[in-house]
Amino acid sequence: MDPLDRYREIIPDFEAFRAVQSLPLYSSARINTLKISRGALLERLEEASVPHQCFSWYPLGLKLDVESPGKLLENLLGFIHIQEELSMAPPLVLDARPGETVLDMCASPGSKTTQISQMMENRGLVVANEPSLARIAALRSNCERLGALNVAITRYDGRMFPRGSFDRVLVDAPCSSEGRERRGPGTLTRCNAARSRELHVLQAGLLKSALRLARPGGVVVYSTCTYAPEENELVVQEAIEGYESGQSGRPALRLERVGLQGLLECPGITEWEGRAFFADMDKTARYYPHINDTGGFFIARIVKE
């Protein structure tokens, strides 16, 4: 059975969505302003005749038409980082500022960590958490190659992260990755509702922990690269409900609208399989591959009052 078929009712222009899955995704990269300016990097690519095209919605994002972009000298020197187009969206929604204290709860391999670091101009602190020792090597290597000097790495289970009062927390959660089918054909064969329900338990635990760790007035961004409502709206719903039913006197939570100029989003769904969600759930964003010619992503932004 087609694992995407159960989304027929919630994804607009479903046939086009289904058809685009078999089209491979182009390579893309982010310009690392910790090491080079956008102008200087573009000049280098011109000079070296590297075919490229800037994203319409993010000036630091590039489509690269080369076979092995990872082998470009610019990559080895940390001037660019190979990163999927939509993976650059959650840090922009998080919108960290220089000098802040930020937690990236599921950090490896560090694409979003280093993007946050560059948005903070290497000032303040990014705590990059990664529970798996094996995945910490890649995280460290990317941070060092890209010249990120404000990143400290920890290795906790995010659900039990011990303490903190962070200005911003990013939970880019482990997920079934349905939105990555165009990058890694076959991803979908491992996807089904049962697996999404299993992942939901972990994801809701991570998001509840993030809501606890944000300071009053702080921002929590939850993202996945999957379509399953069990891993998206249902996680946000459950984490907010769980938080609000906790100790009395806790600051209230509010969903804020997610939108990035130049990138078309669809609103988060407000019901699934007979269960209704907060009306505000339509402020979360679903990004579909047939609409922007990208992969797929879900992003929610929660503010702690």
Partner 1 sequence: MPGSLRSRVRNVFLPVNASNVAAMWQERFGMDPEAFSGLQFFKKASSIWAISEADLPRLSYESLGMRIISCKDRPWKPTTAALQVFGRHAAKNLVHLEESQAMLFLQGAGQLLPEYCDSSICEPGYVVVFYRGDVLGCGLYSHGKLVSQIPKERRIESSSGDQL
Interface positions, 89-128, toward partner 1 (CB under 8 A):
99, 101, 122-125, 127
Q: Does 197 bind partner 1 (CB under 8 A)?
A: no
Which one of 134-142, 171-179, 197-205, 290-298 is the stretch in contact with partner 1 (CB under 8 A)? 134-142
* Residue (of 103, 145, 92, 155) closest to 125 by Cα position: 103
Q: Which is nearer to partner 1, 86 or 151 (CB)?
A: 151
Which one of 142-150, 177-185, 217-225, 242-250 is the stretch in contact with partner 1 (CB under 8 A)? 142-150
Of 71, 134, 247, 249, the one binding partner 1 by CB under 8 A: 71
Check: CB of residue 299 under 8 Å from CB of residue 268.
no
Q: Which is nearer to partner 1, 35 or 182 (CB)?
A: 35
User: 194 exposed, middle or buried (CB, 10 Å; 0-12, 13-18, 19+)?
Assistant: exposed
Q: Does 66 bind partner 1 (CB under 8 A)?
A: no
Q: Does 40 bind partner 1 (CB under 8 A)?
A: no
User: DSSP states of 6-54 as a string?
Assistant: GGTTTSSSHHHHHHHTTSPPPEEEEE-TTTS-HHHHHHHHHHTT--EEE
Check: CB of residue 304 under 8 Å from CB of residue 218.
yes
- 225 included as an active-site residue: yes
In this structure, are strands 297-304 and 125-129 parallel, antiparallel, or unpaired? unpaired
Q: Which amino acid is at 283?
A: K
The residues near 69 (Cβ < 8 Å, ≥ 6 apart) are 27, 29, 75, 80, 82
Of 27, 108, 150, 284, the one binding partner 1 by CB under 8 A: 150
Of 16, 19, 23, 73, the one binding partner 1 by CB under 8 A: 73
Active-site annotation, residues:
225
Residues that bind partner 1 (CB under 8 A): 35, 71, 73, 76-78, 99, 101, 122-125, 127, 136, 140-141, 143-145, 147-156, 162-164
